[in-house]
A = this chain, B = another copy of it.
């Protein structure tokens, strides 16, 4: 048996009260209810409006050898795949490698431009991780979200490094990071303040 060199990482942008999405997600509002206040935009302003000062964190985000995400992050289709949907990111998604989408609804792999392929995994988080690790080789596997997916990996003790991007607003309801996850012993390995976000990296023990 060989030891993998790649880690399992997770970057998640959360509100100060720990939410990564609001209630009632839809195609019109991928981040759910926001009290009419564009909270999805505010949540990710650090990636776009102030990208320059957050370059190091953005490069980390993109650096994994394979990605895992939940079906709700992939798109707004629920239940059967009853209409065409290939993600939010157009024909050439920013992944450029294998992306494993957790779902209860089987679907054929979906190749995209620029070397991204979406694989749909119906046999659970361990299976998705094993497939992603095989695809990543010596690279990291990044758990992309949403919180429902991240919480399962945290509860199973499968995440090595959790990188939170804490933005200055609270949401009060929605999908919350750490919900239902047993107590964790974390090690703060890095923490950096930017203008309107605080980046904190934890090693999970």
Contact = CB atoms under 8 A, between A and B. Distances in A.
Contact of A16 (B178, B195, B196): B178
A16 B172 contact: no
A172 B166 contact: no
A183 B170 contact: yes
A110 interface: no
A192 interface: yes
Contact of A183 (B169, B178, B188, B200): B169
Interface in A5-42: 16-18, 35, 37, 39
Given A17-B177, A178-B17, A168 B195 contact: no
A200 B202 contact: no
Interface in A144-190: 164, 166, 168-172, 177-178, 181-188, 190
Contacts of A172: 178, 181-183
Number of copies: 2
B191 A193 contact: yes
Nearest to A190: B193
A166 B16 CA distance: 11
B198 A186 contact: no
Contacts of A195: 188
Contacts of A39: 183
Contact of A200 (B169, B184, B198): B198
A197 interface: yes
Nearest to A177: B17
A186 B164 contact: no
Nearest to A192: B193
A187 B170 contact: no
Which 5 A-B residue pairs are closest in the complex by CB-CB distance? A191-B193, A17-B178, A168-B186, A168-B188, A170-B184
Interface of A: 16-18, 35, 37, 39, 164, 166, 168-172, 177-178, 181-188, 190-193, 195-198, 200, 202
